[in-house]
Structure 1
């Protein structure tokens, strides 16, 4: 069942209200290091990231936001905790969105100052509730960070913003416990029509984090709940985009793109398949295509022809040779070292340039 949510506009990217589900990430650089942060965001852009969030721990970081924004294409969101002056500076620097919990920034006049500033610039606020940082009275009431506790905390922050007649809001209720996360978002989906930002907090390493996020985010999206997602992984943030986009593609929520399939490997394996798959993923990340393309990566030249017939494009390698198939037919052969280059060259014949 599809959930009808409100729509917000985040630097030209629409979230909710029937807009395509977007994929977000967060920089892992020091925001004060403008060069490193811009470099990382550009890498995320190439990978297909729609929105990026930056930590703002102090005023120096807040003042760096404007310099960063001028050098990147995707909308940037400032992540603010407690200090309302950092929020005001982030607005001055031209951020497109803000993550801040109004109940954590103190006196009413401080909340009003932030709301007035974002309202004037048309900047949405994300209320971000995590299981590790719930209010003491809510924790005492529920005994632990339950799904109900997460939802109650989120709606408390929502009511604070609504008291100031501010409704340009999206909400997240993240937990390390996948079942609690799913339950909390379902409660919110029943109680409000604000767009929902899905995620499992502190999901962990690439392997475990991918599993937890795929189950949590995928379950909700399959039920029509969720408007934007972030897969939290330890390591390179570009991995978050690859996993996030694959979740969307698996559910048919991203039509234009590449679906990568590969054989599991067996005793006939004649090539380093894992390295080949990773190399291909890195080269094709963010490549925009006018229609879905299925790409098969196969580890030997024995089964390659038959298995490649089920994909739009297939590549097989082994014994120093590479082969490329299109619609099940062998198109050309080449040296094994050229496999990735030949695949990318073929895919580029389908591609459309990213504006």
Structure 2
């Protein structure tokens, strides 16, 4: 949706005066006798003190229209063209906002940078520059248009990198959370074999008793961290009469079959890992993953950088959208399309 800033009467008058001035400039000096023979270009939008002509929007939208027609195998309808024109205008408004920010920050794109980007693009398609130009022309785009578009994209990249990247806060904790969600989804159909040590909490236990029992569970986990055998501790200390004799083994389970908090703890564990204390209605549990069905889940260390890169890209896009909304909110924009 296009954002419009609330216009005061003065801004409306200024907008229309600018429109009149542009139309006047479009006429030749001797236009009084031949005004009816002159076809005047329309104005699609006013962004600050800059105008975007309707003809410019049509030029900008042409690649979009050609692509849509190539994909659909038929000419675009008037309604489809309208949507594409609006999309093109929105891009042009954003480009104008970027240009103003670039001027304020004294950010420029050199001819060398544009040519290097063009060479890279041609190389990625396995083409010499001359063949690349012919390929563009076959798609209805001249090399001059493509070069101008490349310059705009490079400028946008530079400005956004400077203005937005500092807002992106993604680290290992976010990557780990994302990984755990993926793992839970992947493991939702796979079995696991877990074990636990239960420190039972009576239903009528007072807060002081609960705190004391939790300390007991923490002490048991500390022993495990120091190298104690889980099965031996379970046999000696677990208050689950059924599982204690077999070293706390809970048997084979599918996700969702154990109490919710206990089940969630197991889903985040790899084979051999220990977690807890975990509170349930029965008491405090120290849990260990004994075996997990192999579902081809890659370790976090193997995929962490890919996940981090994806999350940073997604957050960059989100912050970029917010930043453009902020720019539009403080810029006079009059949509006339």
Select the structure with the greater relative contact order (CA < 8 A; seq sep ≥ 6). 2
Instruction: Using structure 1 for the length normalisation, give the TM-score.
Output: 0.22
- Higher helix proportion: 2
Instruction: Using structure 2 for the length normalisation, give the TM-score.
Output: 0.23
Return the index of the structure with the highest Cα Rg: 2
